[in-house]
Homo-oligomer: A and B are copies of this chain.
Amino acid sequence: MIQMKRKGLIVVVSGFSGTGKGTLMKALVAKYGNYALSVSATTRSPRPGEENGREYFFISDTEFEKMIAEDGLIEHAGYCKHYYGTPKKYVEEQIEQGKDVILEIEIQGALQIKEKFPEALLLFVMPPSVAELEKRLKGRGTETDEVIHERMLRAKAESEGIEKYDYIVINDQLDECVEQMNSIIDAAHYTPFRNRLFIEDIRGQLKQLS
């Protein structure tokens, strides 16, 4: 019998700033044992409180360009004069071990990944309402009105890409949302196109009947 779920899935998480993507992903990984969180590489400098290997792998331009040249990244993009990318090795190792690897990336990277790995699952985190989104962005108390307005405008632009995603995740109550995300990822293991080997195996055996 060909086992199901032998391999993990790549799970890309995108969504508006202020929807609590980061908290959601951390809660998901903490609650269930079958997830691994991918850490991106960047050439920007660490901010106060950020740790190498936790928020990002902080590397030099030369190192980053070497990774690109050696096909060591599954996606990368330039943003505000810095590189950001997802190291391939960790993702592939975790998948082989059957872990579902969660990546937080924006839409450009998400679509790069879907092209290279059609089996990847794309999730888009949304707020329950626009009013709630604004409330959360303001509630942080750390951003100026201008920055909040900019984020809202970016949400407006990002909202155009939602249909490129396989699922939306509504972050209303964190606990419920974590369970919902887990259901969605678990379910994704059972699509026919992610189980070609299993289906072909069953079919091959049935074909021997006459």
Residues of A in contact with B (beta carbons under 8 Å apart): 1, 4, 124, 126-130, 149, 152-153, 155-156, 159-160, 162-163, 165-170, 180, 183-184, 186-188, 190-193, 195, 198-199, 202-203, 205-207, 209
Contacts and interface: CB of A to CB of B under 8 A. Distances in A.
B186 A183 contact: yes
A205 B166 contact: no
B128 A1 contact: yes
Contacts of A187: 167, 180, 183-184, 186-188
Given A152-B209, A203-B159, A206-B159, A170 B4 contact: yes
Q: Count this chain's copies in the assembly.
A: 2
A159 B183 CA distance: 26
24 contacts: A1-B128, A1-B129, A124-B192, A129-B202, A129-B205, A152-B209, A155-B206, A156-B203, A156-B206, A156-B207, A159-B199, A159-B206, A160-B203, A163-B192, A163-B193, A163-B199, A167-B190, A168-B190, A168-B191, A168-B195, A170-B198, A180-B186, A180-B187, A183-B186
Contacts of A186: 180, 183, 187
Contact of A165 (B129, B153, B192): B192
Contacts of A124: 192
Contacts of A203: 156, 159-160
A90 to B, nearest CB: 26
A154 to B, nearest CB: 10
Contacts of A129: 1, 202, 205
A127 B186 CA distance: 19
Contacts of A192: 124, 162-163, 165, 167-168
Nearest to A170: B4
Contacts of A167: 187, 190-192
